[in-house]
Structure 1
Amino acid sequence: MRTATPSRAMRLAAVASQAYRRVFAASRLAPLLSRPNPVHRTGYDLDVVVRRIAHEAEDVVSLTLAPTDGYPLPAWLPGAHLDVFLPSGRQRQYSLCGNPNDRSVYRIAVRRMADGDGGSREIHDGLSEGDLLRVRGPRNAFSLVGTADAYLFVAGGIGITPILPMVRACHERGAPWRLVYLGRSRTSMPFLAELERHDGAVDIRPDDEYGPPDLAAILSHAPRGAAVCLCGPPPLMAPAQRIMRSVNPSGSLHAERFSPPTVAGGQPFAIHLRRSDITVEVGAAESALAAIRRALPDVTYSCRQGFCGTCRVRVLDGEVEHRDRLLTDTQRRDSMLVCVSRAAAGPLVLDL
């Protein structure tokens, strides 16, 4: 039997992959099988084309992404996000903010962060309509609670992105809901026009008109037993749990942040990077990832919150205090997510 050439094998694999996607997309079970959750990947790495780039607010653009092969995109639920692989090699995560019922495109929105690490600037300055990108997902670490009697959504700035599909879902199912949308000014707040059709249920509160937000007052007005979904910058997120317990103990708080959490109860420790033969010191208030990046700035990472697995590293020696939401007990025997996990005692030796 003649052995297939590599190029022919690649063509056959591509045909098989497309056939699988055709069958999967047509299946009545597709929405269930592709339902994202905090630790489950759909298994898809997809090539997409940037169909449209739109200015949504000051320093905010949206990207409409379409599949290159024409097949329906994997199904997703409100709160899901995509891993986006940028031309530079950076991997970043962005919430899906379009319509879950439209599987012909995905939509994400990105705010330019002048003091960030370059991902948002690359999207704003380097991408054009027609460019190709690789994405992975969708995955969900911020699922909309489906059993609540009522919902209060609180969004700060670009935190509106995962909230938009949640609002749509509640509106379509007829569930009682209210949105409080916070921001510096109306010019900085994306998607205001899309929210106009929900007049009466949406409370727009820019700081330059209303002053700094009173989170305690906002949360106290949630109906008894309501699900409160909160997404925004660290100053908004940090006191939310404490305030919620005080002013609305019968409700439940569900939150997503766009920046790494503050290190709680950390102790300084050392990490030896075996392959690089470098030892770095990790401060009590910083992550292992931050310390490693001082020595290896190109080390791979993404969510910085312990649920995507991008920064997983093999542990060669030492005891780890695992703080992630992803690894199984078996995986934790010899690896760690350096964005959140730390040394339990003494130094660590990592395969870097």
Structure 2
Amino acid sequence: MKHTNETLRLRVNRIRAEAKGILSIELNDPQQAELPAFTPGAHLELRLPGGHRRHYSLFNDPSERNRYLIAVSLAANSRGGSQHIHSSLREGDMVTSSAPRNNFALADTAGCYCFVAGGIGITPLMSMIRWCVTQGKDWRLIYTARSSHRAAFYEDLQALSTKRVQCHFTEESGGRLDHQALIASLAADEHLFCCGPDSLMQALLTAGKAVSNRLHFEWFSPPETLPQAHSADEGFELILRKSGKVLRVPPQQSILETLESHGLEVPWSCRAGICRSCETAVCSGTPEHLDLVLSDEERTSNQSMLICVSRAVTPSLELNL
């Protein structure tokens, strides 16, 4: 889905507890107008008090145009996003959001689908599962959580299919997930889509190196092991086409940090290359892509880059800023 800067004003129609520490929120247009369409795996970027921007996956059926459904887990170390939603958001409130964006698009040409969810990571997979059901696609889900009390949408999933859903509740009788066995069980035309904690996704990345082209991940937080820049020890010239400014990006400093140090404000959210809030068009020069969301095709084209983490392999880089 193409990135858009469209801003929406949405009304909180309903708030419901889905599991321990997890709320689901239904958002509608205040005039009951049709909402922008979304595709399986898409998310909203909510603009919250204090300048916070937080991304929340849409878990309802992509065919619905009258509402958006998101789920928010109360983070133990919340920086203001989940804490505000759990303690202050009320039905009837208005919120500002981006239009739907998708960094975790479903490969709709796959023969069958294996979904792997860790805790709140079930949210983007729900819309994918609903799409599979509607389209008559073959699918299965491996759902890991500490306990059934912390497993959001457990009843909904059981209603969709008891045979296709396999649960691993580590505090109960489900046992731990065997990552090697899971990768070995993939059919030749089966794609795996995973969202969850860093430990789960890193384990699947390691186990699935031989089939990496069929593995897809959605990161809610920066992985513990980030791509390392080959050019981190060297600075480069940064040319801003619109303003005509020429800046120097020093070693060990991001483009975003350099812009901020010169009083220039640009949109950003994660500072870890796991969203597209800071995506910027490249005019000339070659970026060193260090993000986790651009596709191989997008990286090869070098038409845009995420300036919060990526750098340059050429002495000079010109951006459309």
Do the structures match in fold with TM over 0.5?
Answer: yes
Partner of 2:47: 85
Partner of 2:155: 193
Partner of 1:30: none
Asked whether the 8 Å contact 2:119–2:150 carries over to 1, the reply is yes
**TM-score of the superposed pair, with normalisation by structure 1:** 0.72
Asked whether the 8 Å contact 1:96–1:161 carries over to 2, the reply is yes
- Tell me the distance in 2 between the aligned counterparts of 1:311 and 1:72: 28
* Distance of aligned partners of 1:211 and 1:164 in 2 relative to their CA distance in 1, 3 Å threshold: same
Deviation at 1:208, TM superposition (A): 1.2
- Tell me the distance in 2 between the aligned counterparts of 1:269 and 1:63: 46
Deviation at 1:264, TM superposition (A): 2.0
Deviation at 1:290, TM superposition (A): 8.5
Deviation at 1:314, TM superposition (A): 10
Q: In structure 1, list runs of 5 or more residues that go unmatched.
A: 1-36
Q: In structure 2, list runs of 5 or more residues that go unmatched.
A: 238-244
- Tell me the distance in 2 between the aligned counterparts of 1:293 and 1:207: 44
* Distance of aligned partners of 1:225 and 1:208 in 2 relative to their CA distance in 1, 3 Å threshold: same
- Tell me the distance in 1 between the aligned counterparts of 2:236 and 2:87: 36
Q: Is 1:99–2:61 an aligned residue pair? A: yes
2:311 pairs with one of 342, 345, 352? 342
* Distance of aligned partners of 1:250 and 1:300 in 2 relative to their CA distance in 1, 3 Å threshold: closer
- Tell me the distance in 2 between the aligned counterparts of 1:76 and 1:314: 24
Equivalent positions of 1:131-210 (< 5 A) are 131-197=93-159, 198-209=161-172, 210=174
**Partner secondary structure for residue 117 of structure 2:** strand
Q: Is 1:282–2:252 an aligned residue pair? A: yes
1:321 pairs with one of 288, 300, 306? 288
1:76 pairs with one of 22, 31, 38? 38
Question: Between Structure 1 and Structure 2, how many residues are aligned?
Answer: 303
**Partner secondary structure for residue 282 of structure 1:** coil
Asked whether the 8 Å contact 1:98–1:165 carries over to 2, the reply is yes
Asked whether the 8 Å contact 1:179–1:203 carries over to 2, the reply is yes
Deviation at 1:300, TM superposition (A): 5.0
- Tell me the distance in 2 between the aligned counterparts of 1:330 and 1:222: 33
- Tell me the distance in 2 between the aligned counterparts of 1:113 and 1:196: 26
Q: Is 1:59–2:28 an aligned residue pair? A: no
Identical aligned residues as a percent: 39
Counterpart residue type for residue 95 of structure 1 = S
Q: Is 1:302–2:269 an aligned residue pair? A: yes
* Distance of aligned partners of 1:250 and 1:141 in 2 relative to their CA distance in 1, 3 Å threshold: closer
Q: Is 1:228–2:189 an aligned residue pair? A: no
Asked whether the 8 Å contact 1:269–1:347 carries over to 2, the reply is no
Asked whether the 8 Å contact 2:61–2:131 carries over to 1, the reply is no
- Tell me the distance in 2 between the aligned counterparts of 1:314 and 1:227: 31
* Distance of aligned partners of 1:147 and 1:346 in 2 relative to their CA distance in 1, 3 Å threshold: closer
**Partner secondary structure for residue 182 of structure 1:** strand
**Partner secondary structure for residue 88 of structure 1:** helix
Counterpart residue type for residue 192 of structure 2 = V
Deviation at 1:258, TM superposition (A): 0.9
- Tell me the distance in 2 between the aligned counterparts of 1:96 and 1:264: 28
Deviation at 1:236, TM superposition (A): 0.9
Counterpart residue type for residue 187 of structure 2 = P
* Distance of aligned partners of 1:268 and 1:118 in 2 relative to their CA distance in 1, 3 Å threshold: farther
